[in-house]
Structure 1
Amino acid sequence: MENIFKKWMENPISKIVLATNLVFALLFIVSIPSFVREYITQDAVSIGGKKYDLSDVKETSPIAYSKFQSEYKALIKNTLGEFAQDKLFELIAKDKNIKPSEVLTQGFTPREPSEEDIMNVYVSNKDQLGGKSLNETKDKIIGFLKNQQEQEHSRNVYRDIVTKYPVEFLIKEAEAVRVTVEEKNNPSIGPKDAKITIVEFSDFECPFCKRSQDVNQKLREKYKGQIRWVFRDFPLPFHQDAMYAHMAANCTISEGKYWDVFNILFENSGNLAKANVDALIVKAGMPKDKYQACMKNASNLKAEIDADIQDGQKVGVSGTPAFFINGIFISGALPFENFDEIIQKELKQ
């Protein structure tokens, strides 16, 4: 409630924009993810008189081609989504003899928020109100609450619309682009003969990497015994504490403490100063003397991490987190469903 109210206070959204955003969100929920690539060889570039097309990109830079597929699929989906929205509103407007712009709001009359509702919003967002009193902000709070009522009404109306006129995106499925990603004896979870191998390039200091760990854990739980998860170091150069944290974590592998340290470092990713990392390593159960002895071999530790970075860059990794599901590239802290869809398909092969 706090973040929603703050954003609404900073930039109140018009009814039309609200309705449009709502429609797109619901359209995508009921859609089938897929991809059209009918004429990719028609688009080309000529270099020194020699013509190159997207098939050449696919052969020489599979990750760049994979990104192209994802972005193109999203563009096609957005374009068809806009068209579908307009058509749905036209159909309903014709049935009800109203304007398309009235479809989501027809029959809506906001009720006056209760004093209790108003007070709850005020108390929850007091820090964002710049010290203003309830009386000074009451009108804006009422507007916010009525706006929420309208959004809820629009959601209900749209659910009825897609029940009457189902929306399904019929877009050709993309060909999976795979690259070979070596494991090189890096820490892993899961059986070596698992049908699915996921190689993760990540950074203990990266907030997006930390965010992705919840999804990663859910995937390992759902597909326990079917997934082998490999972690490779990719500390980013602008994260000044990341390299030391990765070196420290690698010192715990021989003692079987790596995954305990892995979890505790991500839990503390906003505070990875050397002293704190040292304390966290010992707290995780790593013998202090063995840890200190290992960290004296800083050059060897760094060389191994640099090798991970170089291997990642060779297969197109430029940021974190980056994942390869049986060689299929996924970039960023994406929702569970993005990974789950690929894994399901891989298990069926």
Structure 2
Amino acid sequence: MSYRNLFAAVLIAFTFAPVALAQSPTATPAAAAAQNPASSKALAIVNNQQITLADIDPQVRASIENLDKDVADVRRRVLDLQIAKMLLEAEAKKRNVTYEQLVKAEISSKVADPTEEQIKAFYDSNRNYFGAADLEQARPNIRQQLRNRRGQKLLDEYVTTLRKSYSVVMGMDVNAANLAPTALLATVAGSNITANTINDDMRIKRYIFEMRMQTYDAEALAVNVKINNILLEAEAKRRNTTAEALMKAEITDKIKHPTEADVTKFYEENKARMNGADLATVRAEIVTYLELPERQKLEQSFAQKLRAGAQIRLLITEPELLVEKISTDDDPSRGAADAPITVIEFTDFQCPACREIHPVLDELLKTYGNRVRFVVRDYPLDQHPQARKSAEAAAAANAQGKFFEYAAALFKNQDALDVAALKKYAADLGLDQARFNAALDGGTYAAEVQKDVLDGDEYGIDSTPTIFINGVRQRDLSPEGLRVGLERALAQAPKSPARPAK
């Protein structure tokens, strides 16, 4: 990665930090509505009973109420970072060095690695954030976060110094209503920043969209929890019992508890993640964890029963989907180029999640026949040392018309992806061995794989599999989630005469 890309990554990491739900004092619905009239807006209606913003979890309510302010803060921060970038470019030109050399000298090289004590302290203070991940698993993420913080401090200090040497004149407010694309936001060392610099940046669009989607997801969850609670209380009243007793009868008492052998087996298999705790100390947590799948299944089933006889109307609206232009170049594909749906997957042949989704996606797409074009692009992750060469091998197989057969072989044999194995799979498929070996050994398709990676970086991809359906990044990669994405794309696609299946 170049220093320019590295610096950009640092900037994005600070600007686009995870948005936490805002903290808010607990308030009664009536008090919340009095403090903010918007809290009385109806979010759902259940059997003629309204659910308003004032009725849901206070933290979720605060995140919804603060969303526009949070978006405005992001846009201001992005403008600040654009100013910082232009100041650095001006200083690099003055010193007759490259931008990358300046960033390395003044920022990157001065970011010290955190100590083991600092890493552990961060982990201990943020245990909820890391979930089931132990310290060893969380270490790379923590190290990068702490380095990013230090890099941000150095950047802020250096930019403050540069502002004393260069003219920075602020223009219109970046969050002003109805900004024209050419509206002047700032002039830095004689160069202008206009509104379209911020508005047209797809990285910013992605992040703001994700902010809105996370808030919507939290709102939808909170509303559905409230709906379930209303129905639970009504059912308990109908049965002349309490909600707690009803939950115990319908869920807790029906759970099959794990045996002592189950608990011991889990403990032994996961001992390294227990941070030295003995079985007696973590037994209760293990039991709860092992019971969780069945508990969730029972809760879902009971909620469906309660909802079956209820009149429910949701009034919340999902944010407008972000549609991106994702290039397909000459990448391997199946289906007609003019199919109404184009599915693009960025994959990594050494990625377990990619292996798991491969047959699911394959079967799902078959049901759509000639209505779908499926395109595969490469995004080998750094932590998978054999993924890049495997991608080159798949490209060599594609040159002989056997990409999808070869990809299936790679996923089937994911534990054996050394060069010798890659050549064996080609032989098994009857490929021209000499031609395949020459392409693989000579790195014929290395540049093609690298182009996919660079494109993936531009599209904000940081994990695999990443799937786009008609330009919309899929957030839910479950079979049902993908089906919903396909059906939505099909409904929105221009209608055209049906073609006979081939």
| 3-state secondary structure, aligned to 1:341 | helix
Contact 2:349/2:410 (CA < 8 Å) preserved in 1?
Answer: yes
Displacement after TM superposition at 1:60 (Å): 2.1
Aligned to 1:337, which of 480, 487, 490? 480
1:283 partnered with 2:428:
yes
CA pair 331-91 structure 1, distance change in 2 beyond 3 A? closer
Instruction: Say which one has the larger Rg.
Output: 2
Q: Structure 1 stretch 232-241 or stretch 323-332: which is displaced more?
A: 323-332
| 3-state secondary structure, aligned to 2:414 | coil
Contact 2:335/2:374 (CA < 8 Å) preserved in 1?
Answer: yes
| 3-state secondary structure, aligned to 2:480 | helix
**Number of the residue aligned with 1:51:** 174
| 3-state secondary structure, aligned to 1:255 | coil
| 3-state secondary structure, aligned to 2:384 | coil
Q: Structure 1 stretch 158-167 or stretch 230-239: which is displaced more?
A: 158-167
1:173 partnered with 2:318:
yes
Identical aligned pairs, as a percentage? 22
Aligned to 1:74, which of 209, 214, 217? 217
Taking CA–CA contacts closer than 8 Å with sequence separation of 6 or more, which of the two structures ends up with the larger relative contact order?
1
Displacement after TM superposition at 1:242 (Å): 0.6
Q: RMSD in angstroms over aligned alpha carbons?
A: 3.8
**Number of the residue aligned with 1:323:** 467
Query: Where in structure 2 are there 5+ consecutive unaligned residues?
Result: 1-63, 81-169, 179-194, 269-283, 493-502
Q: In the aligned structure 2, how far is the partner of 1:227 from the partner of 1:306?
A: 26
Amino acid in structure 2 at the alignment position of 1:60: D
User: Deviations 1:79-114 (Å, cap 9, x if unpaired)?
Assistant: 112212221222122223322212223489969x9x
Amino acid in structure 2 at the alignment position of 1:346: A
Displacement after TM superposition at 1:54 (Å): 12
Contact 1:40/1:54 (CA < 8 Å) preserved in 2?
Answer: no
| 3-state secondary structure, aligned to 1:192 | coil
CA pair 310-331 structure 1, distance change in 2 beyond 3 A? farther
Contact 2:468/2:474 (CA < 8 Å) preserved in 1?
Answer: yes
**Number of the residue aligned with 2:232:** 89
**Number of the residue aligned with 1:256:** 401
**Number of the residue aligned with 1:297:** 442
Contact 1:104/1:158 (CA < 8 Å) preserved in 2?
Answer: no
Q: How does 1:212-291 map to 2 (within 5 A)?
A: 212-291=357-436
Q: In the aligned structure 2, how far is the partner of 1:102 from the partner of 1:38?
A: 35
Q: In the aligned structure 2, how far is the partner of 1:278 from the partner of 1:259?
A: 16
Number of residue-to-residue matches in the alignment: 296
| 3-state secondary structure, aligned to 1:225 | helix
CA pair 218-183 structure 1, distance change in 2 beyond 3 A? same
Displacement after TM superposition at 1:312 (Å): 1.4
Amino acid in structure 2 at the alignment position of 1:231: V
Amino acid in structure 1 at the alignment position of 2:174: K
Q: How does 1:185-196 map to 2 (within 5 A)?
A: 185-196=330-341
1:103 partnered with 2:246:
yes
Contact 1:257/1:285 (CA < 8 Å) preserved in 2?
Answer: no
Amino acid in structure 2 at the alignment position of 1:230: V
| 3-state secondary structure, aligned to 1:342 | helix
Q: How does 1:139-218 map to 2 (within 5 A)?
A: 157-218=302-363
Contact 1:58/1:64 (CA < 8 Å) preserved in 2?
Answer: no
CA pair 259-53 structure 1, distance change in 2 beyond 3 A? farther
| 3-state secondary structure, aligned to 2:222 | helix
CA pair 54-341 structure 1, distance change in 2 beyond 3 A? farther
Displacement after TM superposition at 1:260 (Å): 0.8
Q: In the aligned structure 2, how far is the partner of 1:150 from the partner of 1:291?
A: 52
Normalised TM-score (structure 2)? 0.51
Contact 2:216/2:318 (CA < 8 Å) preserved in 1?
Answer: no
CA pair 343-54 structure 1, distance change in 2 beyond 3 A? farther
1:346 partnered with 2:346:
no
User: Deviations 1:194-251 (Å, cap 9, x if unpaired)?
Assistant: 0001111110001111111122112221111010001111111111011111111111
CA pair 323-155 structure 1, distance change in 2 beyond 3 A? closer
1:65 partnered with 2:215:
no
User: Deviations 1:235-278 (Å, cap 9, x if unpaired)?
Assistant: 11111011111111111122211111011101122321222222
Q: In the aligned structure 2, how far is the partner of 1:59 from the partner of 1:201?
A: 24
Contact 2:213/2:318 (CA < 8 Å) preserved in 1?
Answer: no
Normalised TM-score (structure 1)? 0.72
Displacement after TM superposition at 1:149 (Å): 9.3
**Number of the residue aligned with 1:308:** 452
Displacement after TM superposition at 1:184 (Å): 0.8
Q: In the aligned structure 2, how far is the partner of 1:83 from the partner of 1:150?
A: 19
Query: Where in structure 1 are there 5+ consecutive unaligned residues?
Result: 1-36, 131-139
Q: Structure 1 stretch 336-345 or stretch 158-167: which is displaced more?
A: 158-167
